[in-house]
Homo-oligomer: A and B are copies of this chain.
Amino acid sequence: MMNDPRGKDASATHGAYLAIREKILTGDLPAGQKLKIERLREMLNTGASPVREALSLLTSDLLVERIDQRGFRAAPANKANFEEILTLRCVLEDMALRRSIERSTRTWEDRLVLAHHHMTRATDQGTAAFEEAHKTFHMTLLDNASLAMLERYCSQLYDLNIRYRYLAARGAGYRRRDVSGEHRAILDAALEGDADRASARLLDHYRLTGDYLVAELDDL
């Protein structure tokens, strides 16, 4: 009955949440598209209630819009939106990273080193694995700030950004630049407790990727 590749069989709602989320992020469900319950229901082999609830939850993530009495649609994507995401990320991650470094501990340093190492290892293991390790690294940079809402916003913005990467190049070619060198530079600065340098490197990292993406997104 449950032919989900992953072993975990949490609730049907959670399964639907993950599946729909993935489809939106990768562009399988294009931005702006109407999301009909019935269609999703049969795509995911589940009932209407879980689908509906999953969509409500995706609303929190700004990946789905809901209009009362007329259903759900995948959040629209456009250049202005992308630029807003970039701006907000720069401001919020700057704040979070500085505070993380300020409160640095050995434990955090350890987690950071590990997250970075796992990311370098994951380059071989397919994009999905790398994607996850990459996010973990970036979130670890921020999580020592111990500001739950700020973390949540950053995580949200990170995810929204993924979608634009897929839009620009269908996910391929992301590692074209010397991304691993940039990661290394951020890590080193953070470990040394140099907040200014770490933040500068992190923001460069985003702005470089951002410029690259903007170039591909002219048509939107």
Contacts and interface: CB of A to CB of B under 8 A. Distances in A.
A81 B148 CA distance: 8
A65 to B, nearest CB: 11
Contact of A56 (B53, B62, B149): B53
Identical chains bound together, number: 2
Contact of A149 (B11, B85, B95): B85
Contacts of A57: 56, 59, 66
Contacts of A95: 91
- The DSSP consensus for interface residues of chain A is helix
Contact of A62 (B53, B62, B69, B149): B149
Interface string A85-102: 101100110010000000
Interface residues of A, number: 29
Interface in A127-150: 147-150
A91 to B, nearest CB: 6
Interface in A119-177: 147-150, 152-153
A68 interface: yes
Contacts of A81: 148-149
Nearest to A145: B84
A60 to B, nearest CB: 4
A10 B66 CA distance: 14
A13 interface: yes
Interface of A: 10-11, 13-14, 49, 52-53, 56-57, 59-60, 62, 66, 68-69, 81, 84-85, 87-88, 91-92, 95, 147-150, 152-153
Complex A-B, nearest 10 residue pairs according to Cβ-Cβ distance, in ascending order: A56-B56, A60-B60, A84-B147, A14-B68, A59-B60, A11-B68, A84-B149, A11-B69, A53-B56, A10-B68
